[in-house]
Amino acid sequence: MNPQQVLVEELENMLEVASRFYKFKVDPTIDLVNDVDNGHDVWGKTAEYDPQSHVIRIYSTGRGIKDQLRSCAHELVHHDQNLRGDLTGYQDEVGEGYYSTNPRMRKLELEAYKRGNDFFRRYEDMVKKKRKNQWDGTNLKSNGHEGESLYSGMYQGDSGPAGLNESETFEDHALELLSEHNQAVFDKLIEDL
C-alpha cells in the first residue's frame, strides 16, 4: 500500500471508533487536501472543520501520517462540539487571531486539544497492542498464553476494565477504555503530576 492508502485506511478505522465513542448522530466527511503552497508554509493550515457541512479537511501535503491522524482527532472533537450545539453562531467569532482574542472559542479549542489528544493517545495505544497480539474472536493469544487479558496490568489499583471477554470486539473494548470513568482516572493522574 502507498502512504495515501495507509492514511485513508487509518482514518477510516479511527473514525469508526470515534463515531461510536462520541455517539455521533451524523458522521463527518473527511477530505484530504493537497495544497503545495500550504505544505511549504511553516504556519500553514493543518486541518479545519466546517460545522455547516460536517466536513473535516486535513491538509496533507508534506505531513506524516501520524501527524495527520492527530489533527483529525482534534477536528473530531469540533464535530462533537458542533453536534452538541456549541458551535452555533461560530462564524462571527473566528478569523485571524481568534484563539488569542475570543474566550469562548479559546475554551472550545482547549477542549479539542485535551480531548482530541487524549483520544488519539489512547487509540494509538490500543492499535499498537492489537497489532502486537492476535485476536481470534474468543481468546487473546499473547506470547502463547491463551486467555491473557490484552490490557492486564494497565490499570493497577484502578477499577478499570479487566480485559476482553468472548463477546467483546477490539472496538467494544476501545469504547470501554475511553469511557467517562477512565477519563476521570486519567484526569486525576494528570492532576497528580
For the chain, domains (ranges, CATH) are 3-105 (3.30.2010), 133-192 (no CATH)
Paired residues of 142 in beta bridges: 145
CB 32 within 8 A of CB 45: no
CB 28 within 8 A of CB 49: yes
Q: Among 14-18, 50-54, 71-75, 174-178, where is mean pLDDT lowest?
A: 174-178
Q: What is the pLDDT of residue 176?
A: 61
Q: Is the pTM of this model over 0.85?
A: no
CB 45 within 8 A of CB 21: no
DSSP string, 2-35: -HHHHHHHHHHHHHHHHHHHHT-SSPPEEEEE--
Q: Largest Cα–Cα distance in the chain?
A: 59
User: Nearest Cα to 164, choosing from 185, 132, 138?
Assistant: 138
pLDDT in tens, 58-113: 999 999 999 999 999 999 999 999 999 998 876 666 667 777 777 888 899 999 99
Residues in the chain: 193
User: Nearest Cα to 22, choosing from 160, 180, 190?
Assistant: 180
Q: Where are the beta strands (DSSP E) in 82-180?
A: 134-135, 140-142, 145-146
Task: Kindly list the distances between the CA atom of residue 124 and the CA atoms of 71, 98, 101, 149, in Å, as whole numbers in the listed order.
Answer: 13, 30, 33, 18
Query: Taking the CA atoms of the chain, what radius of gyration do you get in angstroms?
Result: 18
pLDDT in tens, 129-165: 877 774 444 333 333 434 333 333 332 333 333 343 4
